[in-house]
């Protein structure tokens, strides 16, 4: 599996390269700036891109902007964002795309190698890997009573956040210590309240929900 990695801090970039190589990933390129990332994504066509949001030369949002542009040129390109910050506008744009795997992890909340490697693999396979804090910040903007999210019960919101992390119904049931049948019922209620068609595809349904919430602002 070929990876393009973008991280401007040398020690972190080198550590990520070694970690991924130790788990049988091929590093197609490891770059430190926005222009280098744009070129690598265009020329190398990797299986997945792992990018920091803030890269030189301006240290604002080059990494995410490059990833979004690359997905426009190559729809479905799997992208895992690894950042210290939640850039809400661009995170929503990435999620609302609806094609290909996406992930958004916060650097200070990646606690072990297996967690990170599993996230890369999940995104490369077309799934989602979302940090719970990212989801909470994205959904928090929907708190007004006139918005669709207000129709959900606290438990349904909890289920939605876990769904958005890419978890299956069985995994959510285990996390909440309830039956899988109960989660299926909550899921059906969520989609009914948000006016969305029910889907058996966990990743596509999560992206659909997040896209709907985004456009419903």
One digit per residue, the tens of pLDDT, for the chain of length 217 reads: 999 999 999 999 999 999 999 999 999 999 999 999 999 999 999 999 999 999 999 888 899 889 989 998 998 899 999 988 887 777 777 776 667 788 899 998 888 899 899 999 999 998 888 887 777 776 665 544 446 677 889 899 888 888 877 778 898 999 999 999 999 999 888 888 877 666 655 556 666 566 555 554 4
CA-based torsion, 117, 54, 73, 196: positive or negative: positive
* Domain range summary for the chain, segments of one domain joined by +: 2-131, 141-215
What gap in Å lies between CA 177 and CA 190, rounded to an integer?
19
CATH architecture of 2-131: 3-Layer(aba) Sandwich (3.40)
* CATH number for the domain formed by residue range(s) 141-215: 1.10.10.10
Q: DSSP of 163-214, one letter per residue? A: HHTT--HHHHHHHHTS-HHHHHHHHHHHHHHHT----S-HHHHHHHHHHHHH
Adjacent-strand bridge partners of 30: 5
Question: Same CATH topology for 2-131 and 141-215?
Answer: no
Q: Name the residue among 90, 44, 38 with its Cα closest to residue 64.
A: 90
């Amino acid at each position: 599996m070929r990876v393009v990695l973008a991280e401007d801090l040398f020690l972190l970039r080198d550590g990520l390269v070694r970690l991924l190589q130790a788990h049988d990933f091929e590093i197609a390129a490891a770059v430190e700036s926005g222009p280098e990332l744009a070129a690598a994504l265009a020329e190398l066509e990797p299986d997945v891109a792992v990018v920091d949001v803030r890269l030189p030369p301006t240290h604002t949002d080059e990494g995410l902007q490059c990833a979004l542009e690359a997905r426009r040129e190559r729809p479905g390109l799997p992208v895992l964002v690894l950042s210290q910050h939640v850039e809400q506008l661009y995170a929503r744009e990435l999620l609302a795309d609806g094609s290909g795997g996406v992930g958004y992890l916060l650097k200070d909340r990646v606690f072990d190698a297996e967690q990170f490697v599993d996230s890369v693999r999940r995104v490369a396979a077309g799934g989602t890997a979302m940090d719970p804090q990212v989801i909470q910040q994205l959904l928090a903007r929907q708190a007004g009573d006139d918005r669709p999210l207000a129709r959900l019960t606290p438990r349904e919101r909890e289920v939605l956040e876990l769904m958005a992390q890419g978890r299956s119904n069985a995994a959510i049931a285990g996390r909440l210590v309830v039956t899988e049948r109960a989660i299926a019922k909550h899921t059906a209620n969520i989609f009914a309240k948000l006016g969305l068609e029910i889907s058996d595809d966990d990743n596509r349904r999560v992206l659909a929900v997040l896209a709907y919430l985004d456009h419903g602002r």
